[in-house]
Amino acid sequence: MEMTLRWYGTKFDTVKLWQIRQIPGVKGVITTLYDKQAGDLWTQEEIAALKKDVEAESLKIAGIESVNVSDAIKTGSAQRDEHIQNYIDTLENLGKEDIHMVCYNFMPVFDWTRTELARKRADGSTVLAYTQEAIDALDPEKMFSSIAGDSNGTVMPGWEPERMEHVKELFELYKDIDEEKLFENIVYFLKAIMPVCNKYDIKMAIHPDDPAWSVFGLPRIINNEKNILRLMKAVDDVHNGVTFCSGSYGTSLDNDLPHMIRALEGRIHFAHVRNLKFISPTNFEESAHLSSDGTFDMYEIMRALYETGFEGPIRPDHGRMIWGEKAMPGYGLYDRALGAAYLNGLWEAIEKAHKA
Ligand code: DNO
C-alpha cells in the first residue's frame, strides 16, 4: 500500500502540501480540480498545472478523487453522451499525465450525507455524525442549508452550492430512476469508458454510497457485498474497481468489512480507512481511527487488505476536529495525520508478523 492524504488544491484546502509531506510515510496526495463541475472536461494543461504544484513540494499525485459523474450520466438524460465523451477525454488527459487511479461515485443528488458536521464528543473534539431521525424530520431541499453553517467557511465535497441551488430539479430528474435503472446507467457508463481506461491503465475506483441505505427515497446501489460484486461482474475488467471505504460500507452493521475486502480481492484500487462509533444502528458518529475509540476492528480491516495483496493508495479518512484547528469538517490536518501514523503502525506490524 501507499499511504496518502487527500488534498483539495492550493485554492481550497486549509492544509498545505509542506505539512502533508511531514507526515511519516506520506509520499503522495489524492487530489482533484475542485472547481470543476460534473460533466466538465479537464484539459491536459490544467492537470499538468496541478501536478506541478504537487511535485514542487516533493510529493506525487497518487490518484484523483474525484472526477465526478454528472446527474445526466446517472439518470441517462439528454446530455449523457456529451458528458461521457468529456469524461473519456478527461481520462485520456489524466493518462497522458501519468495518473492511473480515479475515484468517483454514483450516488443520486447528494454525495455522502451527514446530519451534523460538528457533534461534540466527551473529549471536546468535534466529529461528523448521522441520525436517521434527523433525516426523517428534514425536507431534502433544506439539507444543504441545514449543514452549510457548520462547514467552517469551506465548500464540502459533493455539496457544491452551485449544485445545491438546483436541488429541486435534481430530485425531479431522479423521479423515474429506480435501483435497476441506476444500475443499467452505471453499466452503460463503465462500458463506454473501459477502452480509454485500458489504453492508459487507469483504474476506476467506485466509492460506496454513504450511508449504505436509501435517503430521501433516492435509489442506492453501491452499498453491500452482493451489489458491489454484481457491478464487478457486469463489467468484468480489472479497470472497473473499487474504493473500499470502511466508514461508508461500515454505516450498515450488516456489512462484514474484512469479508468484503477478501471477496473483492484484486478489484480494490483505493482504500479509505476510518472508524465509526455507533450509538444505535442508525445513529453513529465518526470516531478517531483507533479500534478502541469506535466500533470497527481496524486491525482486521488492515489485515484483510494486506492479505489480499492490496498495493494501491490508502488514506486516513475523515478525522475529528482537534487542537483548535479550523478546517473543512473531516479534513483537518491533525487527526488525519494521527490516523495515517496509526494505520502505518498497523501495517508494519501485520507485515512483520507475516514475514516472521
Ligand atoms: C467524503 C468523500 C466522498 C468521496 C466521493 C467520491 O468525504 O469520501 O465525498 O470523495 O463520494 O466520489
User: Is 206 in a helix, a strand, or coil?
Assistant: strand
Which residues are known catalytic residues? 207, 245, 272, 317-318, 331
Q: How far is CA 54 from CA 39, 164, 225, 288, in A?
A: 25, 30, 35, 28
Task: State the closest ligand 1 atom to the C-alpha of 107, by its place in the atom list counted from 1.
Answer: 11
pLDDT of 167 = 85
pLDDT of 120 = 97
124 grid coordinates = 471536546
Out of 207, 243, 318, mutate this one to test ligand 1's pocket (max ligand atoms within 8 Å of CB): namely: 207
List pLDDT tens digits, range 138-188. 887 777 777 777 788 888 887 777 777 888 889 999 999 999 999 999 999
CA of 281 to the centre of ligand 1 (A): 22
Task: State the closest ligand 1 atom to the C-alpha of 6, by its place in the atom list counted from 1.
Answer: 10
CA of 184 to the centre of ligand 1 (A): 22
May I ask the CATH architecture of the domain 2-355? Alpha-Beta Barrel (3.20)
pLDDT of 100 = 98
User: Is 57 in a helix, a strand, or coil?
Assistant: coil
CA of 112 to the centre of ligand 1 (A): 7
What is the length of the chain? Answer: 356
Out of 13, 29, 65, 102, mutate this one to test ligand 1's pocket (max ligand atoms within 8 Å of CB): namely: 65
CA of 104 to the centre of ligand 1 (A): 8
Q: Which residues have CB under 6 Å of ligand 1?
A: 65-66, 103-105, 111-112, 157-158, 207, 272, 330
CA of 355 to the centre of ligand 1 (A): 34
Q: How far is CA 280 from CA 220, 223, 284, in A?
A: 21, 19, 7
Task: State the closest ligand 1 atom to the C-alpha of 247, by its place in the atom list counted from 1.
Answer: 8
pLDDT of 144 = 75
Query: For residues 321 and 117, what is the distance between their CA atoms, to the nearest angstrom?
Result: 10
pLDDT of 323 = 98
Out of 111, 186, 246, mutate this one to test ligand 1's pocket (max ligand atoms within 8 Å of CB): namely: 111
**356: which residues sit within 8 A by CB, 6+ positions away?**
none
pLDDT of 159 = 79
Task: State the closest ligand 1 atom to the C-alpha of 158, by its place in the atom list counted from 1.
Answer: 9
pLDDT of 230 = 98
Closest residue by CA, ligand 1 atom 12: 104
User: Is 76 in a helix, a strand, or coil?
Assistant: coil
Q: Which segments in the chain show pLDDT lower than 70? A: none
138 grid coordinates = 428534514
CA of 352 to the centre of ligand 1 (A): 32
Task: State the closest ligand 1 atom to the C-alpha of 68, by its place in the atom list counted from 1.
Answer: 12
